Amino acid sequence: MKIQLDLQVNIDLNKEEEKAVSWIRVVLEQAARVEELPPIDVSIMIVDNATIQHINKEHRQVDRPTDVLSFPLWEPDEEWIITDEEETVPLGDIVISLPKAKEQAKEYGHSLAREISFLAVHGFLHLLGYDHETKEQEEEMFARQEEVLSGVGLTREHKE
């Protein structure tokens, strides 16, 4: 499974945060396998609350920080056409707030690695057209997230 990941970290990280962020590639490769995707290209930015609040306000007209935002580069009903073995499908961009991830990890009582990975997979599934507007959609999306995360050993109990 080929995944081209452009990971940009716009804030200073301590050792625990670096280790947590390093899980992103692992979980997105697992998500791509589970989804049986062709070679893909994904961009992820790790930012602070002020930056994600600005992006949230600019793109969604919601003037508050959030944990994760996704910006797909294709429509879910579009067919992927790969003409070259080296070509990748550009899925889109994911923005994750590190302060929100830390706050939520503490709130839920699991590791920062688990929370960052959860947010990365959540954003990734949004890029693929998954949503959680209805109860059925939410159940499907969250089951898929748990399948991906448990597949790499990041269960809710993960404390690291």
Provide the annotated binding site for Zn(2+): 122, 126, 132
Side-chain half-sphere CA neighbours of 40 within 13 A = 24
In the sheet that holds 68-72, the strands lie side by side as 3-9, 40-47, 89-97, 68-72
Three-state DSSP class for residue 48: coil
Residue 28: what are its φ and ψ, rounded to 5°?
-75, -35
Question: What residues are designated binding site?
Answer: 122, 126, 132
∠ CA(131), CA(135), CA(139), 5° rounding?
70
